[in-house]
Amino acid sequence: MKNLTLLLLGLGLFLNMGPSPRGNDFFQVITSHPHDLEQLSPHIETVYQNGRLWVVQLKVSAPKNILGHLRPLGGHEKSYLHLGQWISSKSQKMKRDPIKSLVAKVDQEEIRRDVEELASYRTRAAGTADNQLAVKAVAGRFSDMGYQVNEICYRPGACSIIAEKKGLTSGGEVLMIMGHIDSVGEDFAGADDNASGTAVLLEMARVIKDYSNKKTIRFFVTNGEELGLLGAKHYAKHLSDTNKIQELALVINMDMVGYNSNGIVELETNPKYEKLAQWFSDLAARYTTLKTKITLGAWGSDHVPFLEKNVPTLLTIEDWSTKTPCYHLACDTPDTLNYSYAAEIAKLNLSAVLSKDI
């Protein structure tokens, strides 16, 4: 049977082979590792590229082993600038907006200090001694702010942090914000990727530490993202195995939120959550100076394991078309970041959490 399948598959491929490129099949590139891209580049032709969405066709020469870096296009992937709108009702205009006053407390200097602190470890590569020290330090910060802190390790010595503030009403719904603490391991680097996301988590936690939340607010500092989303995959599976995954009403991932040249934040999720992304865009118009680009077709960061388990999840990330030139390089240092941009992303994600809590 297997042989028959292979034969039919082979025949199908043979019949599909036209002149270059091969067939009419479109694929989305789902890797950003330079090594993978080097392997891909002779065998693909770009059809469309905007932000995080890169659509290609395969050339006849394409070997099968590159298919792991590609995903067949489902037909609903897209990437577009979205102008958020905020239409407030009369009653909202009369009232003081409590979200606005909390969001105003975000301080870019706090974010800068934490990015500098995180980049002062020689490396934050998952599982190294310095990575463990950084995890301990960040766990301590959450704990000092009054959060209930636990570690969850995908293997001994490689741990993520869960810091939460239980909701006052017993609904059991959880709003979760996450970002990875590990780096690819360049010395004293990983400022944008992803000390920025971790620092913004700490800043959001600081701003709402005395806020009386109705739903549980959880900060998840992931580890092992750069090794294949290890901490996030492990935790998503753990929540699913213990029947707790459905408690997650919203998950926000922050990965690379510090480098900016055009004021655009990319909002990435899967096509089924397009409305959620547009809602974020409306919040951006109301509470921040950011412009938004919506990308449907999620890949390559810690939001993916949660989307795969049907949790409404969204990634906020700097516009991938103009991402840091120091991506995964030793020059990804704190002085290259734009802290007022990172603060705007903190405001956006805070406004989302607070809006869902009201």
Q: Which stretch binds Zn ion (CB under 5 A): 23-31, 46-54, 189-197, 343-351?
A: 189-197
Classify 205 as helix, strand or coil.
helix
As measured in angstroms, the least distance from the Cβ of 214 to Zn ion is 31
Q: Which stretch binds Zn ion (CB under 5 A): 34-42, 108-116, 193-201, 212-220?
A: 193-201
Cβ proximity of 31 and 54 under 8 Å: no
Tell me the two tokens of residue 199.
């620092």
Residues 128-167 that bind Zn ion (CB under 5 A): none
Angle, helices 196-207 vs 108-118, to 10°: value is 140
User: How many residues make contact with Zn ion (CB under 5 A)?
Assistant: 3
As measured in angstroms, the least distance from the Cβ of 316 to Zn ion is 12
Q: For residues 322 and 301, what is the distance between their CA atoms, to the nearest angstrom?
A: 18
Torsion of CA 94, 99, 104, 110, to 10 degrees: 170
Q: In what order do the strands lie in the sheet with 44-50?
A: 44-50, 53-58, 26-29, 70-72
As measured in angstroms, the least distance from the Cβ of 98 to Zn ion is 32
Nearest residue (CB) to Zn ion, 301 versus 338: 301
Binding Zn ion (rule: CB under 5 A), the pick from 77, 110, 192, 193 is 193
Q: For residues 144 and 165, what is the distance between their CA atoms, to the nearest angstrom?
A: 13
Q: Which stretch binds Zn ion (CB under 5 A): 188-196, 230-238, 244-252, 275-283?
A: 188-196
The one-letter amino acid code at 259 reads Y
Residues 302-321 that bind Zn ion (CB under 5 A): none
Nearest residue (CB) to Zn ion, 153 versus 227: 227
Nearest residue (CB) to Zn ion, 278 versus 336: 336
The answer to the question of residue 192 lying near Zn ion (CB under 5 A) is no
As measured in angstroms, the least distance from the Cβ of 182 to Zn ion is 8
As measured in angstroms, the least distance from the Cβ of 254 to Zn ion is 9
Q: Which stretch binds Zn ion (CB under 5 A): 28-36, 162-170, 190-198, 199-207?
A: 190-198
Q: For residues 327 and 186, what is the distance between their CA atoms, to the nearest angstrom?
A: 11
State the CB neighbour count (10 A cutoff) for residue 74.
Answer: 12
As measured in angstroms, the least distance from the Cβ of 173 to Zn ion is 28
Tell me the two tokens of residue 15.
């019949």
As measured in angstroms, the least distance from the Cβ of 358 to Zn ion is 31
Burial class of residue 8 (count of CB atoms within 10 Å of its CB; 0-12, 13-18, 19+): exposed
Nearest residue (CB) to Zn ion, 317 versus 352: 317
As measured in angstroms, the least distance from the Cβ of 328 to Zn ion is 9
Binding Zn ion (rule: CB under 5 A), the pick from 79, 183, 194, 260 is 194
The one-letter amino acid code at 226 reads E
Q: Which residues 6+ apart lie within 8 Å of 40 measured at CB?
A: 29, 31, 56, 66, 69, 70
Nearest residue (CB) to Zn ion, 28 versus 194: 194
As measured in angstroms, the least distance from the Cβ of 111 to Zn ion is 17
Nearest residue (CB) to Zn ion, 310 versus 322: 322
Q: From residue 239 to residue 268, what is the string marking binding to Zn ion with x (rule CB under 5 A)? A: ----------------x-------------
Burial class of residue 152 (count of CB atoms within 10 Å of its CB; 0-12, 13-18, 19+): middle
Interface positions with Zn ion (CB under 5 A)? 193-194, 255
